[in-house]
Amino acid sequence: MSIELRNRALEYVNAFDGRTLGHFINGAAVEGEGDRFEVFEPATGEILGGACDATAKEVDAAVEAARSAFQRWAATPGTKRRKILHDIADLIEERADDIAAMECLDAGQAWRFMSKAALRGAENFRFFADQAPFASDGKSLPTQDHLNYTIRHPIGPVAVITPWNTPFMLSTWKIAPALASGCTVVHKPAEWSPFSARLLVEIAHEAGLPAGVLNTVNGLGESTGKRLTEHPDIKAIAFVGESKTGSAIMRQGSESLKRVHFELGGKNPVVVFEDADLDLALDAVIFMIYSLNGQRCTSSSRLLVQQSIHDDFVAELAKRVKILKVGDPFDPATEVGPLIHRRHFEKVASYMDVARRDGAIIAAGGAPHELGNGGYYFQPTLFTGARQSMRIAQEEIFGPVLTAYSFEDEADAIAQANDVKYGLAAYLWTADVGRALRVANAFEAGMVWVNSENVRHLATPFGGMKASGIGRDGGDWSFDFYMETKNVALAYGTHKIQRMGV
């Protein structure tokens, strides 16, 4: 099966002229006129294909398509938008294997996770589709003399800029609510894994999305991304990526006062108390850092274990980390695939020396995983004996690398957990309900899971505090971002208006 799926994904890439992606603007594929950049296959390190950096003219054309489609899409009844978005979800489900295979090929993600991620993309469309008919609904806020009511309008054409880690799923998570709100979109996927975004825009049009409503431009952040975020006709930017890119985008969008929504980096703690169900906690700790090749914003990359159980827990953990199955993303048995790109591989590898210099112990992994085929494989790695002040406990490594250390008591656990610039997610394992409530309350994180790994309910808010983001997605929070709220005040004719100049 895996060979067949890989071949199908390769055929898709090969069908592009020169294996090079252009853009998709106003309902049609266009060949790019800008500089070509290469896209590599993480599992082999070989050139998979390429894409064109959008020129200023092409970015303008995509924004113009979104601008001219906006009025009509915004005025399309919510029930009709719902139907189209469900049709997109149907097609995503039909093509789920192809989508998952593209993520394996282009992003190096393991099949066992990608087959579910593709379906989650369809779920994202269905969830927001069902809210489309009610997206404009507001509140009634009457006073003695006025009836106030609120109503929401889609904000306009928006830019969606996504990273490379789970490109398809993340794109649907941002694009589906934008379309459900009545916004039109220009999407710029990450340059290291651009192919599944093309699948998405093709599927959307096959399902009946009108031309201009979703446009995809390829390109580099500093050129295409910059132009898009500076464009005066783009009203809001939904961005997922690194914290420092978020700062750049805020600067770029500031001249035209754009609304921004940022989902950024993380250095998320998982805190294990001595009274926790340690077997379950161990499973969750392993899953939350080594799945998705550790390239997951919500990964629990810092493990804080209570001193009394620390040595035993970490010893069991090290045994399991050493036998994680690293391999070809298409092999259904693979648990950890390759890193996305040579540059990212080098970044992750560089932390081995950082850990040694700072005095941490490499208890598992610590070196490239050699498959002899040029892929960017790195051994699942565990640092022990770390301290909160070390760089390996402060910086986002974004690979299959876990930093473990101990804490004494509740206060110490909270202080160490919060002692980072990030605040995306936090995980907590304890059997004591009171403690769970206290610690969850004290965590500086946008999302806390107690006795659980990252299990998403799409109606709940998703996002981070501190350097991990601005704003929330999910449920109605997404609509609040993509829509303007207007208040209308109607007088009952009972109040007195002050008379001046009489």
How far is C-alpha 140 from the chain's CA centre? 35
Cα Rg of the chain, angstroms: 24
Nearer to ligand NAD, 328 or 396 (CB): 396
Identify the helix (H) or strand (E) that includes residue 18: none
Catalytic residue among 263, 335, 395, 453: 263
* Shortest CB 427 distance to ligand NAD, Å: 15
Alpha-carbon span 449 to 440, nearest angstrom:
8
Nearer to ligand NAD, 81 or 344 (CB): 344
Nearer to ligand NAD, 263 or 328 (CB): 263
* Shortest CB 244 distance to ligand NAD, Å: 7
Long-range CB contacts (< 8 A, 24+ apart) of 343-352?
344/192, 344/295, 344/376, 344/398, 344/399, 345/376, 345/378, 347/397, 347/398, 347/399, 348/378, 348/397, 348/398, 348/399, 348/401, 349/378, 351/391, 351/392, 351/395, 351/397, 351/399, 351/401, 352/381
Catalogue the E-assigned strands of 264-315.
269-272, 302-306
From the number of C-beta atoms within 10 Å of its C-beta (0-12, 13-18, 19+), residue 358 rates as middle
Residue 344, both tokens: 């990212």
Q: Are strands 422-423 and 447-450 parallel, antiparallel or unpaired?
A: unpaired
Nearer to ligand NAD, 82 or 472 (CB): 472
Nearest one of 309, 304, 306, 307 to 416, comparing CA atoms: 304
Alpha-carbon span 163 to 294, nearest angstrom:
14
Residues 6+ apart with CB under 8 A from 64: 233
Residue 346 annotated as catalytic: no
Q: Give the ranges where 360-474 is alpha helix by DSSP (H).
A: 391-394, 410-418, 433-442
SS3 216: strand
Nearest one of 484, 478, 483 to 172, comparing CA atoms: 478
**b/e map 273-294, b = 16+ CB within 10 Å:** beebebeebbebbbebbbbbbb
* Shortest CB 12 distance to ligand NAD, Å: 21
Nearer to ligand NAD, 335 or 396 (CB): 396
Alpha-carbon span 66 to 10, nearest angstrom:
31
* Shortest CB 30 distance to ligand NAD, Å: 19
In the complex, residue closest to ligand NAD by CB? 221
Scan for tokens 């998703």, then name that residue.
462
Chain positions contacting ligand NAD, by CB under 6 A: 161-165, 170, 188, 190-191, 220-222, 225-226, 229, 240-242, 245, 248-249, 252, 263-266, 297, 396, 398, 424, 464, 469
Residues 6+ apart with CB under 8 A from 343: none
Nearer to ligand NAD, 157 or 241 (CB): 241
What's the one-letter identity of residue 461? P
- In angstroms, the Cα distances linking 112 to 2, 40, 123, 310, 329 are 11, 21, 18, 31, 8
Nearer to ligand NAD, 6 or 188 (CB): 188
Alpha-carbon span 158 to 67, nearest angstrom:
9
* Shortest CB 302 distance to ligand NAD, Å: 14
Residue 263 annotated as catalytic: yes
Catalytic residue among 104, 230, 297, 453: 297
Q: Just list the catalytic residues.
A: 263, 297
